[in-house]
Amino acid sequence: MKPAHSLLLISVFRAICAIPAPGQALPAERDASDVRFVSSFVAAGEPVPSECREEAHTFALSLVRYPRPESWHWVLVCDEAGWRRFLRLSGRSEGAAIYASTDLGGRTTYIRGAKLLYPYDLHADPDEIVAHELAHIRLQSESESRVSDLVREWQGRAKLALR
Ligand SMILES: [Zn+2]
């Protein structure tokens, strides 16, 4: 693991451990990005639920595998109730098969945390979900076809690197 990678991982983990309250921003060190956790079941000041930590771990592992922005807001919506609420508030159907959503103008990406817990989901694996949003950010584009091309390119490179 490259040093920059472990630093980011550490800052994500530090953010998890130091969470003051659900929904509050947590600045990460040496990286202008921040990760926030939104959980429907935790009151202010209570520890982050284990599912949230697990999701954040998976998220961080994927995040460091791909080119990522220096300054970005990540919002991990830890549970399905929270995600349905997010969809509703953003004007979409609660039942929509949406696993993540990037607001390029607002420099913010929302991740459906529950989908990061099940690596064998037929529709999208966790790594793919994170890579997909990173490609939107890299390209600054809403184009799904351009995003898919870039993700394939990245994943091809990642496989080569593992040899
Ligand atoms: Zn997309």
Q: How far is the CA of 101 from the centre of ligand 1 (A)?
A: 7
Residue 111: CA count within 13 A, CB half-sphere: 32
What's the 136 CA to ligand 1 centre distance in angstroms? 7
**Measured between alpha carbons, how far is 8 from 15 in angstroms, rounded to an integer?**
10
pLDDT for 72 equals 96
- Whole-number Å distance, alpha carbon 137 to ligand 1 midpoint, is 10
- If you search the block for the tokens 């040496």, which residue do you land on? 30
What confidence score (pLDDT) does residue 75 get? 95
pTM summary value? 0.78
Please write the tens of the pLDDT for every residue from 64-98: 999 999 999 999 999 999 999 999 999 999 999 99
Cα 133 to averaged position of ligand 1 atoms, centre (Å)? 6
Q: Report CA(132)–ligand 1 centroid distance (Å).
A: 6
CA of 67 from ligand 1 middle (Å) equals 16
> Which domains does the chain possess?
3-162 (3.40.30)
User: Exposed e or buried b for every residue in 24-44, given b needs 16+ CB within 10 A?
Assistant: eebebeebebbbbbbbeebee
Ligand 1 centre to CA of 4 (Å) is 27
pLDDT string in tens for the chain (163-residue length): 444 444 455 555 555 444 444 444 444 445 688 888 888 877 777 888 888 999 999 999 999 999 999 999 999 999 999 999 999 999 999 999 999 999 999 999 999 999 998 766 666 789 999 999 999 999 999 999 999 999 999 988 877 776 6
